[in-house]
């Protein structure tokens, strides 16, 4: 019998409205403050988080790939991320060095010969034609020596670029070729991304161009996170077909990740000062939009409101609210007018 009474009691309690429990205990809520804020009408545009340094490194030679860094490897600027077979280029460097040595020897010999002929000419023992010929030969030898040095330089450059090096600090994110493959000049080998130099790139309507400037803060969000990010630069070019222009914003690498899709709130008119509350304070019901403000004795009062401008996390409201009123931003769904609440956190504390 006792069990049946208990079951009937619990079933009856489950059918009671939420505010019926207020007599046993106050609902726990989180509050924030209604305040005067500068807001402007805005439009949301899509954007993407990208790295400012994102490169596909390519081979500068026709050669076989003999080593490549693993995906996920962190490298510093100048570190080797891939190696090409260098046997042929070593031989070319040796050949070029030998040519330089040979031309240098020719120059030294002709210098000595010219000095000898000049001494003889002072004693009228040497023909002027032979002296002139030696001077010409020396000039040609010096030129050949310079050409040989240039060829050696090209050979040394070829040896240098058999090691593909990181042009900036970053992480290897993709291997585009495999060890043993024969590469041609300009073949892409791997992708290197700097995850610490991030920006948000978005294309915005030209109608917003007059209401933003470099350094302005825009609200950026997606389903995982949100934040306020400064505009780094505005590309001063509008596409005549799409009527869009490009905006780039600095992004914190400790918050955002390369490749994330986001939405930017872009102003479409000048800002004005309005009474605003957090968007989370709005309660949507069949009889309209309302907020619950904290009244006397830790009870809530339902205030019917209409909304106006929205920007970021706040929205303009019209109703029986004033600056400084505490409004419920968490836990308002089950509240009713006059219900007692327990404030567990407040922005005004």
pLDDT digits (tens, 9 = 90+) for 19-70: 444 445 678 899 999 999 888 778 889 999 999 999 999 999 999 999 999 9
Cβ(43)–Cβ(279) under 8 Å? Answer: no
CATH 2.40.50.100 fits 57-82+164-196, yes or no: yes
Cα R_g (the chain), whole angstroms: 39
Output DSSP code: residue 224.
Answer: S
C-alpha to C-alpha distance for 335 and 318, rounded to whole angstroms: 21
| C-alpha 38: how far from chain center | 29
In this prediction, residue 285 carries a pLDDT of 86
Residues of the chain with pLDDT under 70: 1-25, 125-126, 312, 347-349
Say what the pLDDT of residue 19 is: 43
Q: Which helix or strand (DSSP H or E) is residue 8 part of?
A: helix 2-15
pLDDT at residue 2, as a whole number? 44
Domain boundaries, the chain: 21-40+273-346, 45-52+198-269, 57-82+164-196, 86-161
d(CA 326, CA 31): 6
Q: Decide if 283 contacts 297 (C-beta within 8 A).
A: no
DSSP string across 124-189 = T-S-HHHHHHHHHHHHHHHHHHHHHHHHHHHHHHHHHTTEEE-SSSEEEEEE-S-TT-EE-TT-EE
Give the sheet arrangement for strand 306-311, strand by strand.
35-39, 272-278, 314-318, 306-311
Question: Backbone phi, then psi, for 219, in 5-degree steps?
Answer: -85, 130
Asked whether the whole model's pTM tops 0.75, one would answer no
Q: What fold, for 45-52+198-269?
A: Elongation Factor Tu (Ef-tu); domain 3 (2.40.30)
Which of the listed CATH numbers 2.40.420.20, 1.10.150.530, 2.60.40.2140, 2.60.40.1180 matches domain 21-40+273-346? 2.40.420.20
Q: What is the pLDDT of residue 43?
A: 84
Helix-helix angle 87-122:128-160, to 10 degrees: 160
Task: In whole angstroms, give the CA distance from residue 133 to residue 145.
Answer: 18
What's the confidence (pLDDT) of residue 18?
43
């Amino acid at each position: 019998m006792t069990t049946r009474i208990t079951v009937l009691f619990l079933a009856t309690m489950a059918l009671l409205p939420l505010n019926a429990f207020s007599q046993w205990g106050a609902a726990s809520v989180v509050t924030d403050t209604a305040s005067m804020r500068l807001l402007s009408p805005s439009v949301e545009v899509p954007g993407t988080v990208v790295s400012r340094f994102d490169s596909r490194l390519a081979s500068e030679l026709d050669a076989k790939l003999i080593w490549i860094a693993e995906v996920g490897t962190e490298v510093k600027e100048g570190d080797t991320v891939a190696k090409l077979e260098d046997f042929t280029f070593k031989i070319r460097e040796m050949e070029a060095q030998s040519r330089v040595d040979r031309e240098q020897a020719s120059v030294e010999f002709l210098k000595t010969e010219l000095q000898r002929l000049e001494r003889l000419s002072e004693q009228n023992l040497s023909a002027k034609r032979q002296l002139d010929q030696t001077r010409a030969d020396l000039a040609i030898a010096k030129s050949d020596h310079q050409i040989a040095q240039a060829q050696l330089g090209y050979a040394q450059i070829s040896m240098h670029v058999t090691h593909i090096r990181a042009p900036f600090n970053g992480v290897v994110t993709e291997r585009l070729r495999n060890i043993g493959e024969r590469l041609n000049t300009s073949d892409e080998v791997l992708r290197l991304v700097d995850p610490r130099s991030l920006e948000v790139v978005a294309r915005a309507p030209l109608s917003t161009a007059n209401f933003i400037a470099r350094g302005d803060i825009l609200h950026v969000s997606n389903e995982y996170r949100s934040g306020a990010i400064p505009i780094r630069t505005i590309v001063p070019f509008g596409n005549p077909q799409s009527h869009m222009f490009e905006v780039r914003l600095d992004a914190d690498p400790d918050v955002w990740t390369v490749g994330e899709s986001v939405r930017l709130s872009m102003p479409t008119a000048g800002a004005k000062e309005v009474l605003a509350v957090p968007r989370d304070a709005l309660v949507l019901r069949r009889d309209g939009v309302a907020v619950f403000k904290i009244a006397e004795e830790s009870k809530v009062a339902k205030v019917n409101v209409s909304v106006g401008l929205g920007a970021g996390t706040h929205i303009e409201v019209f109703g029986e609210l004033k600056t400084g009123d505490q409004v419920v931003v968490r836990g308002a769904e089950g509240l009713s007018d006059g219900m007692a609440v327990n404030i567990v956190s407040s922005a005004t504390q």
